[in-house]
Amino acid sequence: MPGKSYQNSIILFALCLFFLLATGCEEQQNSKTNNVPGKTHTEKLKLGLITEQDIFSQKKRYEPLAAYLSRKIDATIELSILSRYGNIIDNFVANGLDAAFFGSFTGALAIRKLEVLPLARPEYLDGTSTYYGMIFVRKDSGIHNAADMRGKRFAFVDKATTAGWLLPMHYFAENGIEDYYTYFSETYFTGTHEDAIYDVLNGKADIGAAKNTVFSRLAQTDSKVQEQLQILATSPVVPANALAVRKDLGESLKLKLKNALLQMDQDVEGRQVLHEFGARRFIPTTDNDYAPVFDYAYKIGLDLTTYDYNNE
Amino acid sequence: MKKKVFIALLILVFCFSGGGMYIARSIEEVITNLENVITLHQVEFLRKDLQNKIKVVQTDLLLKDSPHALHIDPFIAHVEEMEKASHVCSNCHDDDDDEVRQRLDHFQQKIDSYVKMLSRVYTIRANAERLTEERNAAFSLGEETLAEVEKIVITSSEKISKRITRARNSIAETEHLLFFLITAGPLLLILIAYFFLKQFTSSVDALLDATRKIQQGNLRYRVQEELPDEFQVLASAFNDMASSLKDQCMRMQQTERLAVVGELAAGLAHEVKNPLAGIKVSIEVLANELTLEQEDREVFLRIINEIYRIETLLKSLLSYARPPEPETVLLDLHQLLDTTIKSASYSLINPTNTAKMIKEIEIVKDFSPELPPIIADHAQIQQVFLNLMLNAIDAIPTKGTITITTRKESNHIVQICITDTGKGMSPENMNKIFNPFFTTKPKGTGLGLAICKRLIELHHGTIHVSSTPGEGTTFYITIPEKQQIQGITQ
């Protein structure tokens, strides 16, 4: 019957349409699921960060890297930023951190105190994988040497930093400043390298100490940094902030993490993340790379195993 | 009418598509307006949300270093939420003018500074005075930011309120227009439909009325009204048909009258024939036996001649009214035509001088060699040919040509044409020549061609004539090869 075949055709057409739509929806849903950035993984990795710059900027800087590594090692990486450099040592165990991007000094402390294993550190866009500390003043401050510093205000970064603490301590020792508490009218810890630089630039402090990488980064966006600040002393070069993991982290995860970092520059997505991070690639890092820090600490008479890094 | 229907169709299509498009556009506009209203409410909500989030961060700042202070992670989360809320606000105004953009950029810079100061408060380690100073600076900036948001909320609330009113008015306008379209659209369609239906039905009614009048026998009735478009053409055709019908009726009536007269004449002839034969014999006997003067004898001979004429007329009448059934045989038409031509040629011999002809006529034979023999009545067909040839001879005044053509037509029909170059006929006469008793000859009976037609029709054939005055006349005869008589094919 023509009527019946017509009805059958309509039903068939409706079924095809439904099938196509359902398939389309399913595919769309699948594609959506695959694109979810915060995909849950079976393993979790808690990663600590120190405050090179303000808490929020630092966290934002590491978020794309954490997301990339999560996808590569198939583990959820959770970032935990600490308000102080020294906290990272205290909280590494207390907060159950699995890994952290340690500064050179905190890295050396962690190797000694926590026996963490450094895996990799960034090689910056200019090809260096190290940094050094700087003591600086405003050009118009009239401060040219240690003698001029008497009675001035000194802005350190943290007692657990090479640039923001070890360098000034070494400078003081070299220039006969035995008790900086009495030598300066005020000393304090800004907590971040960025704040130490800006405090001197803005006249909140007379002398400051910070790392050259942060100084260069700020100078690129703010010409006053280069124009109005004068560098009085620098430290030897030390390894850049490296990723180190707790000693008992699973070998497989450790290897995956190391490989993911070292092979980042070999894929497009990795290169994009590296570029945003401000690095060219990650290079392997071992305890030996921290030798300059140990030497530097030794020179100023610090015993890292007993060193109290808490700011006064 | 076609043009009007086309225009009406176009108007309908235009109305539907235009109305549809307008409705779609109106719906889209209403949706956009509603979306705008929702967006504006959303904007209001987002600004309030930003205000609340700044207040939460300010509270965290106040509680710092107190026993109720939060751990750094919730504080970071609060600040990030505040930043996100401020970015949402900024992104919403991407398309706004420069003044608004500048104001928002300034506001965003303030938020960024506030965030840096908050971070500083949490990271700095210094003496109590510096710490208090930093905290107070951050708190003051937070309050300034909050005040700015409040200012923006108040300013924008007025703008939002105006925009919402505008959007509502626009929705109301669209609603009214849609209502108008929904009401007026069908009314317009009904009006157009009524106009066309009225034109159509009034024309059809006029034609129907005329048809009824004709049906009732009023053949003089004509459609007088001016009808629109194709209906006028139809009315003209109807009037022509009525005129033609009237002519046909008159012709039929005349034919019937003639047939009746013919029947009467034939009946009368039959009754007159026998007494006339008696009279003729008696007169002949008297003329032979009586001793008469020469003058008296001539009177008797004139009477006998007139009786012969009456007999001939009577025979013709009988042939027309009651022709005998055809006695069909296989005929060679060419042979029959040759015989007939010979017979007709005798009429050209001068009675006073047999060596001379009374007219100089050339007879041309254009016979088709493919002409098949036909089955027909020999005498009747010869009578037809002879009649037509004698007429042709009569039509030629002194000199001329008679052409006899034969050919085979399709479907087993043969055609014979007899053409003379005589004086020809007027169209009026041409229409009447097959009517009985119509003649243009002074001594003619007017039955010759009527009998020809009758005999050809008895053979299921046709006879037609074409003539041009002064040039000549042609008779066209068609006869089937075989005859169907009383259901038997011969």
Specify the pTM.
0.54
CA B373 to chain centre: 48
Residue B265 lies in a domain: yes
B94: confidence class by pLDDT, cuts 50, 70, 90: low
Which conformational region is residue A94 in: left (phi greater than 0), alpha (psi within -120 to 50 degrees), or beta?
A: alpha
Residues A120 and A200 grouped into a single domain: no
Say which of A80, A186, A195 has its CB closest to residue B124. A195
Residues A125 and A252 grouped into a single domain: yes
Say which of A80, A84, A312 has its CB closest to residue B123. A84
Q: Which of A2-6, A280-284, B209-213, B460-464 has the highest mean pLDDT?
A: A280-284
B119–A84 CB contact, under 8 Å: no
CA distances from A94 to A78, B125, B160, B484 (A): 16, 22, 51, 129
Residues B450 and B393 grouped into a single domain: yes
Alpha-helical runs (H) found in B216-349:
229-289, 294-321, 333-346
Residues B118 and B165 grouped into a single domain: yes
A183 vs A308: CA distance, rounded Å:
22
Residue A38 lies in a domain: no
A81–B124 CB contact, under 8 Å: no
How large is the average pLDDT for residues B93-103?
71
CATH (domain of B295): 1.10.287
Residues B341 and B301 grouped into a single domain: no
Calculate what percentage of chain A has a pLDDT beyond 90: 70
Residue A25 lies in a domain: no
Question: Are the CB atoms for A101 and A49 separated by under 8 Å?
Answer: yes
User: What would the two tokens of residue B310 be?
Assistant: 């009456």
The reported pLDDT for the residue numbered A104 is 93
Residue A154 lies in a domain: yes
Say which of B73, B80, B123 has its CB closest to residue A195. B123
Residues B481 and B346 grouped into a single domain: yes
B122–A83 CB contact, under 8 Å: yes
Residue type at position A172: F
Domain that holds residue A93: 43-129+241-299
Q: Which residues have C-beta within 8 Å of that of residue B273, sequence separation ≥ 6?
A: B311, B314
DSSP reduced 3-state for B251: helix
Residue A307 lies in a domain: no
The reported pLDDT for the residue numbered B73 is 84
The reported pLDDT for the residue numbered B113 is 92
A36: confidence class by pLDDT, cuts 50, 70, 90: very low
Question: Are the CB atoms for A140 and A118 separated by under 8 Å?
Answer: no
Residues B131 and B233 grouped into a single domain: no
Instruction: Show which of B322, B343, B377 is a domain's final residue.
Output: B322
- Mark out chain B residues that contact chain A at CB-CB < 8 A: 72-73, 76, 79-80, 83, 115-116, 119-120, 122-127, 130
- Which chain A residues are within 8 Å of B126, Cβ to Cβ? 186, 188-189
What is the tens place of the pLDDT at every residue in A267-308?
999 999 999 999 999 999 999 999 999 999 988 888 888 888
B233 vs A137: CA distance, rounded Å:
110
A195 vs A185: CA distance, rounded Å:
19
Question: Are the CB atoms for A276 and A64 separated by under 8 Å?
Answer: yes
The reported pLDDT for the residue numbered B175 is 81
> If you count residue pairs, one on A and one on B, with CB atoms under 8 Å apart, how many are there?
58
CATH (domain of B475): 3.30.565.10
Q: How far is A53 from chain B (nearest CA, A)?
A: 9
**pLDDT at residue A38 is higher than 60:** no
B125–A191 CB contact, under 8 Å: yes
**Domains identified in chain B, total number:** 3
Q: Which residues have C-beta within 8 Å of that of residue B99, sequence separation ≥ 6?
A: none
B79–A312 CB contact, under 8 Å: no
Residue A13 lies in a domain: no
Question: Are the CB atoms for B135 and B123 separated by under 8 Å?
Answer: no
Residues B275 and B349 grouped into a single domain: no
B262-298: buried (b, 16+ CB within 10 Å) or exposed (e) per residue? beebbeebeebeeebeeebeeeeeebeeeeeeeeeee
The reported pLDDT for the residue numbered B193 is 84
Return the sign of the alpha-carbon dihedral for residues A164, A169, A171, A172: positive
DSSP reduced 3-state for B228: coil
Centre a 10 Å sphere on the Cβ of residue B157 and count the other Cβ atoms it contains. Answer: 14
Residue B445 lies in a domain: yes
B231 vs B226: CA distance, rounded Å:
9
Residues B347 and B234 grouped into a single domain: no
Continuous segment of H or E residues that includes residue A295: helix A291-299
Continuous segment of H or E residues that includes residue B418: strand B413-420
DSSP reduced 3-state for A83: coil
CATH (domain of A222): 3.40.190.10
Residue among B115, B123, B131 with most chain A CBs within 10 A, to mutate: B123
Residue type at position B76: I
How large is the average pLDDT for residues B455-473?
92
**pLDDT at residue B469 is higher than 70:** yes
Residue B203 lies in a domain: no
The reported pLDDT for the residue numbered B101 is 78
User: What would the two tokens of residue A171 be?
Assistant: 């400078």
A138: confidence class by pLDDT, cuts 50, 70, 90: very high
- Which chain B residues are within 8 Å of A190, Cβ to Cβ? 120, 123-124
The reported pLDDT for the residue numbered B229 is 78
B353: confidence class by pLDDT, cuts 50, 70, 90: confident
**Domains identified in chain A, total number:** 2
CB-hemisphere CA count at 13 Å for A102?
39
Residue A256 lies in a domain: yes
Helix, strand, coil shares of chain B, percent, nearest 5, are 70, 10, 20
The reported pLDDT for the residue numbered A19 is 44
Residues B47 and B11 grouped into a single domain: yes
Residues B277 and B300 grouped into a single domain: yes
Residues A148 and A226 grouped into a single domain: yes
Domain that holds residue B417: 327-489
Question: Are the CB atoms for A85 and A158 separated by under 8 Å?
Answer: yes
The reported pLDDT for the residue numbered B89 is 75
What is the tens place of the pLDDT at every residue in B288-309?
887 878 888 888 888 888 888 8
Residues A212 and A250 grouped into a single domain: no
**pLDDT at residue A25 is higher than 50:** no
Residues B334 and B313 grouped into a single domain: no
- Scan for tokens 């159509």, then name that residue: B200
**pLDDT at residue B418 is higher than 70:** yes
Say which of B79, B125, B127 has its CB closest to residue A186. B127
Residue B211 lies in a domain: no
User: What would the two tokens of residue A306 be?
Assistant: 């007993």
Question: Are the CB atoms for A138 and A244 separated by under 8 Å?
Answer: no
Residue A36 lies in a domain: no
Q: What is the largest CA-CA distance in chain A?
A: 111
Question: Are the CB atoms for B49 and B77 separated by under 8 Å?
Answer: no
Q: How far is A84 from chain B (nearest CA, A)?
A: 6
Residues B303 and B277 grouped into a single domain: yes
Q: How far is A265 from chain B (nearest CA, A)?
A: 30
Cα of first residue to Cα of last residue in chain A, in angstroms, is 96
A241 vs A118: CA distance, rounded Å:
10
Residue A104 lies in a domain: yes
Q: Which of A163, A206, A167, A215 is nearest to A188 (CA)?
A: A206
Instruction: Show which of A185, A206, A235 is a domain's final residue.
Output: A235
Continuous segment of H or E residues that includes residue A81: strand A75-81
Residues A51 and A106 grouped into a single domain: yes
Q: Is the ipTM, as predicted for this complex, more than 0.90?
A: no
How large is the average pLDDT for residues B388-411?
91
Mean pLDDT of chain B: 85
Return the sign of the alpha-carbon dihedral for residues A156, A159, A160, A166: positive
